[in-house]
Structure 1
Amino acid sequence: MTRRAKNGDAKGLARVHVDSWKTTYTGIVPETYLQDLSYDNREKMWERGIDQGSERSSIFVAENTYGDIIGFASGGPERTKKYGYDGELYAIYLLKEYQGQQIGKQLVQMVANDLVEKGFQSVLVWVLADNPSRKFYESLQAEEVGKKEIEIGGEMFEEIAYGWIEIEALLGKIKR
């Protein structure tokens, strides 16, 4: 089941965030950075994110049959203002054991629908160049629209922006 995040979800969001980073980025980012990721720090971050949520940004969660949060996605206004896109998929993380079950698509669809309802027309997402999840965005026919360098754990990494000029085109790819 997917739904909008609410107060009380921060602990589950933190668990997915930390665990997903550890499974996705092992061998990509410095191991010491991954070891230093803290459930407590991420929980505080997500508590603030839920509490300070704006009318323009949203967080959605996916739950398993036991009601545990197994994934999340968030989105809102595009933050750089450099690429001509008005919306951004800020993050999408899904526990490894739930990947490949269309849950990621459901979460992206929820963010995309929310962006459309709020008047956004286009959307981009940033992904580390070495992240195998790039294939997910490519399967949804995202166009590569930019690159930048970011620092993680004292090392520099390339990030790639993928975009859809029309959110409706993204939604059409998800529904197929």
Structure 2
Amino acid sequence: MIIKAEPNDISIIQDLAKKSWSFAYADILEQDQIDYMLNMMYSEETLKKHFENPHYQYYLIQEENQFLGFVGFEFHHEPQTTKLHRIYFLKEAQGKGLGKKALNFVSNEAEKMGDKRVSLTVNKNNSARKFYESQGFQIYDEAIFDIGNGYVMDDYLMEFLLK
């Protein structure tokens, strides 16, 4: 089940982020960078700002009364583009088809808002890239982002064109 998150769900999003990131990035990033990014991207202040933005959406993915993941995306991030900022699942959610359902949900929501594409960034060393490609996303560029504190993200930029 995909449920719209509300500001009072911030602690659930933070908990899911912490648990999923330790699984998703353990072999890609040093723990210091993971901690830095979690504190920067999932602070209560940052998440509250997202909830104040009418274009920024968070949804929780739930199965059998347990939250297994979440998505965060922003309509009209660029002209006619919904940006998938966050899609993370707990380890135990792997292989259940929830990622595919979540991507389909984001694409459908983007279409309803009149956007023509969904974009995302993925670390070049993240195996999730193969999953995105299997769902129709294609690499259209590469970028290195300075995220502060001496850290950078070396990413592929990917897109999915909507009908």
TM-score, length of structure 2 as denominator length: 0.85
Residue 149 of structure 1: aligned partner? 144
Tell me: CA distance 1:90–1:38, structure 2 relative to 1, closer, same or farther (3 Å): closer
Cα distance in 2 for partners of 1:10, 1:121 equals: 29
The alignment of Structure 1 onto Structure 2 pairs a total of residues equal to: 161
Residue 96 of structure 2: aligned partner? 101
Cα distance in 1 for partners of 2:145, 2:12 equals: 27
RMSD of equivalent CA atoms: 2.4
Percentage of pairs with the same residue: 21
Instruction: Show the 5 A alignment for 1:1-176.
Output: 1-35=1-35, 42=42, 44=44, 45-50=46-51, 52-54=52-54, 56-66=55-65, 68-77=66-75, 79=77, 81=78, 86-151=81-146, 154-165=150-161, 167-168=162-163
Contact 2:62 2:69 in 1 (8 A): yes
Cα distance in 1 for partners of 2:151, 2:43 equals: 25
TM-score, length of structure 1 as denominator length: 0.79
Gaps of 5+ in 1: 169-176
Question: In the TM superposition, what whole-angstrom CA distance separates every residue of 1:47-98 from its partner, at most 9, and x where no partner exists?
Answer: 4422x031x33221101312x322111222464x5xx762221111111110
Secondary structure of 1:9's partner?
helix
Cα distance in 1 for partners of 2:144, 2:37 equals: 21
More strand by share: 2
Q: Give the Å deviation of 1:151.
A: 3.6
Secondary structure of 2:115's partner?
coil
